[in-house]
């Protein structure tokens, strides 16, 4: 399973559009790994996780062929992860020549918000909705997905996701604080070949436990996975989903996470499981 980070920022992107802070000023000046689009992932060539306001540009920058896309998984319906605009253009024949359906896998709340945002029925957008049942594995062709309730955006059906293909399993945990006991329970017995954990608030709120994580709680999240046997000390762990409010540029994040055996993700990074 090949995974590419298409975007590694939280809602505002980095440098944030109304940037007046030091992190954004430096990011603009340095470029490269400092430039972070809104969070999204490409899995192999047929699956995208989260489809936010940078999707159009990500598809050009990373040469993504949407005509062979089979599914989109959504973690939750915040606007940085689910942008309705691009989906209007799946209406055919008015805006596009679309004839192939894609699957959209998401929680009941996210699917409901999707309809509210776009103002269209799924069938008019050539979408098959598949509703997540929290704690249950879903099979879609050769991909299996386990959604587990995240500690983020109460009432909006946020999920962290275990994604399995060809015997390899990936954890995607962006947009979550430390999990509720009931969610840790659902992870029992699941082992990961790679884990991605957020650190949205990084040094801004290092001990943040709810909604998002800071540097210390990101490490706590990883340590809990270790303690539960979901990962080993050799499992690659990536840190993702950074806000400028985390008060750190790439190097400062690496300085903190590298000695703790965690890799700071950047846009375009591709990994193989």
Q: 159 or 163: whose CB is closer to Zn ion?
A: 159
Cα gap 268→174, rounded to integer Å: 17
| Cα 231 off chain centre by | 19
Q: 50 or 164: whose CB is closer to Zn ion?
A: 50
Strands 168-173 and 194-198, by their bridges, are parallel
- The number of C-alpha atoms within 13 Å of 188 and in the hemisphere containing its C-beta is 6
Q: Between residue 147 and residue 176, which ones bind Zn ion under the rule CB under 5 A?
A: 175
Count residues binding Zn ion (CB under 5 A). 3
Question: What's the min distance (Å) between Cβ of 80 and Zn ion?
Answer: 5
Question: What's the min distance (Å) between Cβ of 153 and Zn ion?
Answer: 5
Q: 13 or 90: whose CB is closer to Zn ion?
A: 13
As beta bridge partners, residue 3 has 43, 271
DSSP character for 14? B
Q: 109 or 175: whose CB is closer to Zn ion?
A: 175
Q: 165 or 241: whose CB is closer to Zn ion?
A: 241
Q: 165 or 214: whose CB is closer to Zn ion?
A: 214
109 near Zn ion, judged by CB under 5 A: no
Cβ atoms within 10 Å of 124's Cβ, excluding its own: 12
Site string for Zn ion, 202-221 (x = CB under 5 A): --------------------
Residue partners of 165: CB distance under 8 A and separation at least 6 = 1, 43, 44, 142, 143, 144
> Are the C-beta atoms of residues 243 and 21 closer than 8 Å to each other?
no
Q: 34 or 50: whose CB is closer to Zn ion?
A: 50
Question: What's the min distance (Å) between Cβ of 95 and Zn ion?
Answer: 27
Q: Work out the angle at residue 86's Cα, subtended by the Cα atoms of residues 100 and 110, and round it to the nearest 5 degrees.
A: 85
Cα gap 145→135, rounded to integer Å: 10
Question: What's the min distance (Å) between Cβ of 73 and Zn ion?
Answer: 14
Question: What's the min distance (Å) between Cβ of 37 and Zn ion?
Answer: 12
| Cα 39 off chain centre by | 5
Cβ atoms within 10 Å of 144's Cβ, excluding its own: 14
Nearest residue to Zn ion, using CB?
Answer: 78
Question: What's the min distance (Å) between Cβ of 117 and Zn ion?
Answer: 14
Nearest-10 crossing angle of helices 250-257, 215-227: 40
Q: Between residue 52 and residue 91, which ones bind Zn ion under the rule CB under 5 A?
A: 78, 80
Which among 211, 111, 218 is positioned nearest to 157, based on CA atoms?
Answer: 111
Question: What's the min distance (Å) between Cβ of 74 and Zn ion?
Answer: 11
Q: 90 or 215: whose CB is closer to Zn ion?
A: 215
Question: What's the min distance (Å) between Cβ of 199 and Zn ion?
Answer: 12
Q: Between residue 172 and residue 201, which ones bind Zn ion under the rule CB under 5 A?
A: 175
Cα gap 231→224, rounded to integer Å: 9
Residues that bind Zn ion (CB under 5 A): 78, 80, 175
């Amino acid at each position: 399973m090949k995974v590419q980070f298409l975007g590694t920022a939280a809602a505002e992107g980095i440098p944030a559009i109304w940037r007046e802070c030091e992190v954004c000023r430096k990011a603009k000046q340095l470029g490269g790994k400092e430039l972070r689009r809104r969070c999204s992932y490409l899995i192999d060539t047929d699956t995208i996780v989260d489809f936010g306001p940078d999707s159009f540009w990500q598809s050009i920058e990373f040469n993504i062929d949407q005509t062979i896309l089979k599914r989109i998984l959504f973690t939750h319906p915040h606007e940085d992860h689910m942008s309705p605009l691009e989906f209007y253009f799946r209406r055919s024949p008015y805006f596009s020549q679309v004839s192939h359906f894609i699957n959209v896998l998401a929680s009941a709340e996210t699917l409901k918000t999707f309809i509210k945002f776009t103002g269209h029925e799924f069938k008019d957008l050539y979408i098959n909705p598949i509703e997540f049942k929290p704690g249950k594995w879903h099979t879609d062709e050769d991909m299996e997905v386990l959604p587990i309730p995240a500690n983020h955006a109460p009432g909006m059906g946020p999920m962290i996701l275990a994604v399995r293909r060809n015997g390899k399993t990936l954890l995607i945990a962006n947009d979550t604080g430390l999990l509720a006991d009931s969610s840790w329970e659902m992870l029992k017995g699941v082992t990961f070949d790679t884990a991605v954990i957020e650190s949205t608030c990084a040094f801004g709120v290092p001990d943040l436990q709810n909604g998002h994580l800071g540097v210390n709680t990101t490490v706590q999240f990883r340590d809990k996975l270790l303690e539960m046997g979901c990962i080993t000390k050799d499992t690659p762990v990536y840190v993702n989903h950074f806000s400028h409010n985390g008060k750190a540029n790439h190097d400062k994040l690496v300085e903190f996470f590298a000695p703790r055996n965690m890799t700071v993700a950047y846009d375009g990074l591709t990994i193989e499981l």
